[in-house]
Amino acid sequence: PKDAVRILVTGAAGQIGYALAPMIARGIMLGPDQPVILHLLDIQPVAESLKGVRMELIDAAFPLLQGILATTDVNEACKGVNIAVMVGGFPCKEGMERRDVMHKNVPIFKAQASALEQHAAPDCKILVVANPANTNALILKEFAPSIPVKNITCLTRLDHNRALSHISERLNVDVRDVKNVIIWGNHSSTQYPDANYAIATTDIGEKSVRELVADDHWIDYEYINSVRERGAEIIKARKLSSALSAASAACDHVHDWIIGTAKGTWVSMGVYSDGSYGIQPDIIYSFPVTCQKGEWSIVQGLKINEFSREKMDTSMKELTREESLAYSCLNQ
Ligand code: NAX
């Protein structure tokens, strides 16, 4: 039998944590033959609630779950972890501006970066979910200089999955028969859901989604807006932000990163930019990637038209602004 993999979930007493922990324990993230040990971190004010989550995970008797560490001590939580899913953070409350959220979250990510650097397994792979996800990941990178940048990513897979589902609904095909959408940029309202290379499998084989939809206005406007606005639509309906879909997307992200993407298929991940597609290096930007043997690589050679260029650049500029804002929070 395989050795257990230690997986850290921060913010484990929160909504996403509550949906994510059982998915991991059931083998959704790493497969049905991979035992796991969960490290659950949250903060002191919700320590009781965290205990409750731990009790429920025990009661579920998951065959793959070999241990649970539930703690409010960040150093203890990071000890020996192979995978870290960073969900915890200060939420954006009504009336708060992005700057205020940043002020709360930058110091949290700075502290967690040091804890991971000192205590995590040397090859630890990190997925940042907490918002602002791209910038939190960048802060983490900044304060954990010994962790390879390739190991630090952020979640845009939820946006990617929403994009696949929108197309599947529009074309009335199964979602598994749609692939190669792209989310470029920031996990924010400037993200660019690009369907130019999307493919759907139909009775007559693989076809370009743009051709199948045969409505450029839908692809260039309605689709982009509906993917961007889906999060807000969920908040309106549930009075809470996406949780089960975010947890599921986090599992997909780590799963594909470690197990690999299928041949001819790519996924979207927020990764450290190497300057591909003219995107400023040294920011965490969402690109189309393929994964093999635990390593992601940015898909190369896609032609970018003027319409896409402008949208990709807008999101890049927003990220560079966010980055300076984050640094200004640190210096205060
Ligand atoms: P909740 O507020 O339900 O849970 C957050 C949890 O984090 C709480 O239990 C809180 O006590 C804990 N926490 C706060 N500070 C902490 C610290 N220093 N260390 C450890 N834990 C800490 O939020 P939830 O709905 O679960 O969302 C979590 C984060 O995911 C938010 O930042 C949210 O904006 C972000 N999201 C990101 C998405 C993405 O696609 N990247 C989509 C879903 C979600 O909106």
For residue range 87-100, list pLDDT tens digits in order: 999 877 777 777 78
Instruction: Give the nearest ligand 1 atom to 157 CA.
Output: 40
Best residue among 9, 15, 72, 187 to mutate for probing ligand 1, ranked by most atoms within 8 Å of CB? 15
Residue percentage of the chain with pLDDT more than 70 = 99
Compute the distance from residue 95 Cα to the ligand 1 centre, in Å: 18
160 lines ligand 1 (CB under 6 A): no
Instruction: Give the nearest ligand 1 atom to 12 CA.
Output: 9
Tell me which residues are annotated as active site. Answer: 187
Best residue among 48, 81, 87 to mutate for probing ligand 1, ranked by most atoms within 8 Å of CB? 87
Interval 196-236: pLDDT, tens: 999 999 998 999 999 999 999 999 999 999 999 999 999 99
Mean per-residue pLDDT, 271-299:
97
Interval 135-187: pLDDT, tens: 999 999 999 999 999 999 999 999 999 999 999 999 999 999 999 999 999 99
187 lines ligand 1 (CB under 6 A): yes
Quote the Cα angle for 282-321-230, to 5°: 95
**What's the pLDDT score for residue 228?**
96
108 lines ligand 1 (CB under 6 A): yes
Compute the distance from residue 332 Cα to the ligand 1 centre, in Å: 24
Compute the distance from residue 15 Cα to the ligand 1 centre, in Å: 8
Compute the distance from residue 131 Cα to the ligand 1 centre, in Å: 8
Average pLDDT across the chain, whole number: 96
Instruction: Give the nearest ligand 1 atom to 242 CA.
Output: 43
**What's the pLDDT score for residue 80?**
98
What is the reported pTM?
Answer: 0.97
* Token pair of 6 as six digits: 């230690």
> Which pLDDT band, with edges at 50, 70 and 90, does 332 fall under?
low
Report the distance separating Cα 222 and Cα 217, nearest Å: 7
270 lines ligand 1 (CB under 6 A): no
Compute the distance from residue 216 Cα to the ligand 1 centre, in Å: 37
User: Other C-beta atoms within 10 Å of 293: how many?
Assistant: 7
* Token pair of 194 as six digits: 């690009």
Beta pairing class for 199-202 and 205-208: antiparallel
* Token pair of 252 as six digits: 């997909």
Q: What is the SS3 string spanning the chain?
A: CCCCEEEEEECCCCHHHHHHHHHHHCCCCCCCCCCEEEEEECCHHHHHHHHHHHHHHHHCCCCCEEEEEEECCHHHHHCCCCEEEECCCCCCCCCCCHHHHHHHHHHHHHHHHHHHHHHCCCCCEEEECCCCHHHHHHHHHHCCCCCCHHHEEECCHHHHHHHHHHHHHHHCCCHHHEECCEEEECCCCCCEEECCCCEEEECCEEEEHHHHHCCHHHHHHHHHHHHHHHHHHHHHHHCCCCCHHHHHHHHHHHHHHHHCCCCCCCEEEEEECCCHHHCCCCCEEEEEEEEECCEEEECCCCCCCHHHHHHHHHHHHHHHHHHHHHHHHHCC
**What's the pLDDT score for residue 330?**
75
Does residue 103 carry a pLDDT above 80?
A: yes
